[in-house]
Structure 1
Amino acid sequence: MALGKRRSERQGEFWVAATDLSSGPQHLFYEKLNAILAEADFDDFVEELCEPFYAGGGRPSIPPGVFFRMMYVGYFEGIDSQRGIAWRCADSLSIRRFLGYRQHEATPDHSSLSRIRTRLPLEVFHDVHVCVLQLLIANKLVDGTTVGVDATLLEANAAMKSIVRKDNGEDWEEYIKRLAAEDGIEIKTKAELIRYDKQRSKEGKKKVSNDEWESPSDPDARIAKMKDGRTHLAYKAEHVVDLDTEAILDAEIYHANEGDTATLIPSLEQAQKYLDRASGWTRDIKKVVADKGYHAVETLARCATLGWGCGGMKTYIPEPERKYEWSWLDRPDAQQQAVTNNHRRMQRAYGKRLQRRRSEVVERSFAHVCETGGGRRSWLRGIDEVRKRHLMTATAHNLGLVLRKLLGTGKVRQFGSLCAGVFVQSCGVIRRFACLGSCARQLRAIFRKHHINQAQAA
């Protein structure tokens, strides 16, 4: 056999038959996902849904089913940016098969994804989420009676050094120089400005408020303190999760400075609307479980009077530590009753068990969507655009639940580990059978030798 040599420049082929091109290996995970979407008539549904937002004539655009599939690829592959999603779809032959593109066809670019996302309103993404919830209900993966609620912060696509004052448009350096001039200090160099700013920080005078500052590139982002202690422009993501099946009923984005007690009721109402539309009949949310950050008198009383189910909604929210006892002199009796009932429920073993379940399930949804699903850092600007992307990531998580029921895993990387584990177990079984076969051969040789010795002795 002769040695093959690689040449950097080769004469191109004048004509190549499409049948001679490799279609790429078949990926069982994506093939199964395509089969699930085809069974639910997903492509026909989204095409009919998006048709009013396109012109009647002209060059055909990218199919909406391809756009939503690429959004799902971002979750399953753990890619946070649209550029990364477009590159991954163009590079992988198995993902090309998943999207329905041949090797000689160009996959959509990241700019096309941005154009389609901005063209479609937020209501379209809500309808797609409801469609996937219907698929989960058909597979008996939604109960909807007991939900857990929690929130986390997402980094916005804006930097703190670019913030400006709302009243006069000053940036941070101009603001510091003005403060130094008021104190009688002249700032000449960048080092002096940093030194003066650090001194203000040590004295406790360095404070930034959302009422006074904003980001010119993303006005919807809010200044917030992240869990690791950094101050960053961020958004707040709140999940309403079915505690029985781990399905995300609602994934809403709020401003980072909105309190948990103010966003609990809107999230529950939106989750109830999704359930009503997906099930076709009333699926009442009867129990809500949250952490102590959601505990407020008005919130508990509002949950008890929402009218879902018999007697409203039961809350299982622990009380935060307080310096003073409750005072009910100027409060209605309904609020006192709601707080007392919630306190009694949390003293029982069932309430404590629900809290442990909430800590496990809801935090796991953030781990899947934000950490390994590429949703912790947002590369989009505007709260509506962030809502679209985050809701599609949560929808992909729900599709992963269906795949986990059918394949035993809900992500591509887990599917590879599962296949590797099955291969290792198969090798172990084969090795055991081989050892048994070797032992059987040795026993036969021993018995044969024993019979020969007996025959010679006779």
Structure 2
Amino acid sequence: MMGPRQVEQGALFYEFSLDTHVPADHLLRAIDRFVDLSGLRAHLRPFYSTTGRPSVDPELMVRMLLVGYCFGIRSERRLCEEVHLNLAYRWFCRLGLDGAVPDHSTFSKNRHGRFRDSDLLREVFETTVQRCIEEGLVGGEGFAVDASLIRADANKQRSADASEAVDWNDLARIRRSVREYLDTLDEAAWGAASEVQPKFVSRSDPAAQWTGALKGHAFFAYATNYLIDLDHAVIVDVEASRAIRQAEVGAARTMIARAQDRFGLWPARLAADSAYGSAEQLAWLVHERGIEPHIPVFDKSERRDGTFSRSAFTYDPAADAYTCPAGHPLRPRQKVYRTPFPLVDDDGMMRYRASKRDCDACALKPRCCPTTPARKIPRSIHEGARQMARDICASEEGRTSRRERKKVEMLFAHLKRILKLDRLRLRGPNGARDEFHLAAAAQNLRKLAQLIPLQQLSPA
């Protein structure tokens, strides 16, 4: 039997509660327990005028931004539409049924002004890290670090060749991203990371790096750098940088030092790939921070032309000399000079040389140094830290760290596939920082919601 036609009937009074219409298992209900914005207004108060028209509630804007990054809503215009229509979003943003949703332009105005001046989004991210620490999700013993490339909002067709002269000061008068680029030329994570000029430079976002690192078509990109705790893959710190190895290594140092200063986290070990295995980086970890480097050594000493590699020579620390396969010594100096030359080169390498007399009479010379009078072996002044890293990587602990390091790669996959952050919407270094901070905060909040059910919430 067919039921009667549904006809809308007006009513004079309604009893409606948003709370009852948000499902108990909704993600926002689980996340809401961990969003603490109680100190937000005090943090922003110096950046607001004491007179004039009342502003849009900053807590409302931050909650809306968290909704957007948690659910992969990349457009702020679309975010305003979704919050206006979705009851769960309204409940999370404390809007009620008839609360007005701010215009999308309000976000841009605040982001380029007081949000960046006060470093608010960094504060929001660190609040999620502190909550993860309080809930026992951060062990603090083992960390991992890695970087991932995120496409920039820049087009090659509007870029300039490296040899082309561009008046950046003139462009800076009309483009905020160019002004930010000029401001970061001396920073280690940006302009000062490398003296090598990229093949192309974007006129709309010159801080973005032209890169072909993904072995496909080259593109403009930024690098998002994650420092995570290996216990539950909580993001302890995040940093934006140029998409080159030197900048990513510098960002790793910044994040490790900042985690120690902000949260008192002193990890015993750090897992990373070979991009972080330079001699200087390993020495910084071991000697300055006291961290075990579970990192493959960045080493190009192995030869592929059939001659002996450096590994065929044995080093004796007591004699400070190498021994070649034929049993002859290689020392830093084979002669006594009236004016001794420096033992260490500008690149931090010591050269151990064999005696020409030994090499001329050696039967293994064709397999050792067929094109030079005598064999030379370079040794880094940080070879102790390099050897420590080699020993760790060959141990069972090193193999375990290599498996655990994949957790940071899974976070990058989640960032791009679930949160839809495979291409930046904002331009300039500050725009990249804003997006990476919000995305990392959203990932930490989702981690808290996943690992701590409602009945296991720690008492306040």
Residue 210 of structure 1 and its aligned partner are, at CA, apart by 4.7
Q: How does 1:219-230 map to 2 (within 5 A)?
A: 219-225=206-212, 227=214, 229-230=216-217
Equivalent residue, structure 1, for 2:105: 111
Residue identity opposite 2:206 in structure 1: P
Q: How does 1:253-402 map to 2 (within 5 A)?
A: 253-256=240-243, 258-259=244-245, 261-278=246-263, 282-306=264-288, 308=289, 312-319=290-297, 322=300, 323-324=302-303, 325=309, 328-329=350-351, 334-359=381-406, 361-402=407-448
CA offsets, 1:103-139, max 9 Å, x none?
Answer: 2222123211122211212632222222222111110
Q: Does 1:161 align with 2:160?
A: no
Which structure has the highest helix share of the two? 1
Distance 1:357-1:348 versus aligned 2 partners, 3 A rule: same
Residue 405 of structure 1 and its aligned partner are, at CA, apart by 1.8
- Match of 1:43, SS state, is coil
- Match of 1:305, SS state, is helix
Residue 374 of structure 1 and its aligned partner are, at CA, apart by 2.1
Residues 152, 427 of structure 2: 8 Å contact kept: yes
Residues 90, 97 of structure 2: 8 Å contact kept: yes
Residues 165, 213 of structure 1: 8 Å contact kept: yes
Residue 246 of structure 1 and its aligned partner are, at CA, apart by 0.5
Partner Cα separation in structure 1 for residue 86 and residue 206 of structure 2: 37
Partner Cα separation in structure 1 for residue 23 and residue 205 of structure 2: 39
Residue 304 of structure 1 and its aligned partner are, at CA, apart by 1.6
Partner Cα separation in structure 2 for residue 87 and residue 138 of structure 1: 35
Partner Cα separation in structure 2 for residue 226 and residue 288 of structure 1: 24
Distance 1:58-1:228 versus aligned 2 partners, 3 A rule: farther
- Match of 2:293, SS state, is strand
Q: CA RMSD in A?
A: 2.9
CA offsets, 1:269-303, max 9 Å, x none?
Answer: 3344235423xxx3212211111122211111122
Residues 290, 316 of structure 1: 8 Å contact kept: yes
Distance 1:265-1:220 versus aligned 2 partners, 3 A rule: closer
Residues 250, 267 of structure 1: 8 Å contact kept: no
Of residues 23, 33, 36, the one that matches 1:35 is 33
Residues 227, 255 of structure 2: 8 Å contact kept: no
Residues 143, 228 of structure 2: 8 Å contact kept: yes
Q: Which runs of 5+ in 1 are unaligned?
A: 171-208, 409-458
Partner Cα separation in structure 1 for residue 120 and residue 12 of structure 2: 41
Residue identity opposite 1:357 in structure 2: E
Equivalent residue, structure 2, for 1:80: 74
Residues 75, 369 of structure 1: 8 Å contact kept: no
Residues 297, 386 of structure 2: 8 Å contact kept: no
Partner Cα separation in structure 1 for residue 444 and residue 421 of structure 2: 15
- Match of 1:44, SS state, is coil
Deviates more, 1:70-79 or 1:284-293: 70-79
Residue identity opposite 2:219 in structure 1: H
Partner Cα separation in structure 2 for residue 343 and residue 4 of structure 1: 74
Residue identity opposite 1:263 in structure 2: E
Partner Cα separation in structure 1 for residue 75 and residue 260 of structure 2: 30
Equivalent residue, structure 2, for 1:247: 234
Residues 289, 354 of structure 1: 8 Å contact kept: yes
Q: TM-score, normalization: structure 1?
A: 0.69
Distance 1:210-1:160 versus aligned 2 partners, 3 A rule: farther
* Identity, % of aligned positions: 24
Residues 130, 274 of structure 1: 8 Å contact kept: no
Residues 151, 237 of structure 1: 8 Å contact kept: yes
Q: Which runs of 5+ in 2 are unaligned?
A: 168-195, 304-308, 311-348, 353-377, 455-460
- Match of 1:36, SS state, is coil
Distance 1:212-1:369 versus aligned 2 partners, 3 A rule: closer
Q: State which structure, 1 or 2, has the greater radius of gyration over its C-alpha atoms.
A: 1
Q: How does 1:127-166 map to 2 (within 5 A)?
A: 127-165=123-161
Residues 43, 64 of structure 1: 8 Å contact kept: no
Residue identity opposite 1:35 in structure 2: R
Distance 1:43-1:321 versus aligned 2 partners, 3 A rule: closer
Partner Cα separation in structure 2 for residue 267 and residue 81 of structure 1: 30
- Match of 1:329, SS state, is strand
Q: TM-score, normalization: structure 2?
A: 0.69
Partner Cα separation in structure 2 for residue 5 and residue 335 of structure 1: 81
